[in-house]
Chain A
């Protein structure tokens, strides 16, 4: 069985190095050196949906995926729907939440803050769809 052991070891080393070699790491710093796994943002390329719509890439929130579809007609956003929702397990979400530091002026529910806009790092047009700003725009949408 000695030769067999070497075959196994050889296969293991090959598999290990192969995966490491082919691995393309996500954008460094996407995690802003923050706690555990919350907020990691790795993006896939946007997928095509029905004509005139863009399906946002599945955006990572560390444990879950959220992909929304934005219907665009004549340059205007006419609708936002969520075709794929695999929300983080409650376990994972709570785990992530518990690891995040609490900020002094933190407001957890944007709806109750009576704001008209959100200032943050610039989102891509795909990421816009699931942002709070999009929800605000929709609420007031003509």
Chain B
């Protein structure tokens, strides 16, 4: 426990580290531990199904053209979410237009984090924020009268922030400064990225994750698409340092 009553936990999974911040309220410690364990199990299960590094995962088998006979039901759930995301993003997020076949990686992490968050909610945790390596979602209030706050990482200063926003639902950011040119432009099938940093906020982390990926690839064109979506907002930093955001995007001061 620390000064502001939050407990944190970091779980290495899915090739990144998922950070948990929980307000425990009146919950006794053992229940807290159980809830955390359950949430982490959700993440590990998702990793086992959707990992593209594990050649034996159901997704890898599917991509190799040898789909498992009894695919886990979550695969269908994710596929449906991907179809919805492709529509919402106007085609800038398209997991079917990448080399090697269907690759929902741009959405899976957000989706898995959302599931983990739901687990915590169902376990009775009053407030929690889960950050899946840069894509985060939260519910509740970290303290009386306070909101969860997140910083958006500065594209060129590793320890600086480009902006600070309040978290209402989900925040997802996509960029190339961590993993290099891994974003594929669905229109060309080649690596392409028009943003130094692309952030999307909204009610669903799975969708926000996908939309952020599409925004990073599509740049201003994708920004226009997202500004037409109810409930979702976007913030784009271009490689030359200029920025744009949708009208409803709100920043807080430091």
Contacts and interface: CB of A to CB of B under 8 A. Distances in A.
Interface of A: 26-30, 32-35, 38-39, 41, 61, 72, 75-77, 97, 100-108, 110, 112-125, 127-128, 130-134, 136-137, 139-142
B131 A107 contact: no
A113 B151 contact: yes
Interface stretch (B77-85, B118-126, B191-199): B191-199
B12 A100 contact: no
17 contacts: A28-B180, A30-B181, A32-B196, A33-B196, A33-B239, A107-B160, A108-B161, A117-B129, A119-B150, A120-B178, A121-B176, A132-B159, A132-B161, A136-B8, A140-B2, A140-B21, A142-B8
Given A34-B239, A103-B241, A120-B173, A133 B19 contact: yes
B59 to A, nearest CB: 17
B1 interface: yes
A139 B161 contact: no
Given A105-B251, A133-B134, A136-B8, 18 more contacts: A35-B241, A61-B158, A100-B156, A103-B237, A105-B162, A107-B160, A107-B161, A112-B254, A113-B151, A116-B21, A118-B153, A119-B171, A122-B134, A122-B179, A128-B12, A128-B17, A140-B6, A142-B1
Contacts of A30: 176-177, 180-181
A34 B155 contact: yes
Interface string B200-221: 0000000000000000000000
B148 A117 contact: yes
B161 A118 contact: yes
B178 A115 contact: no
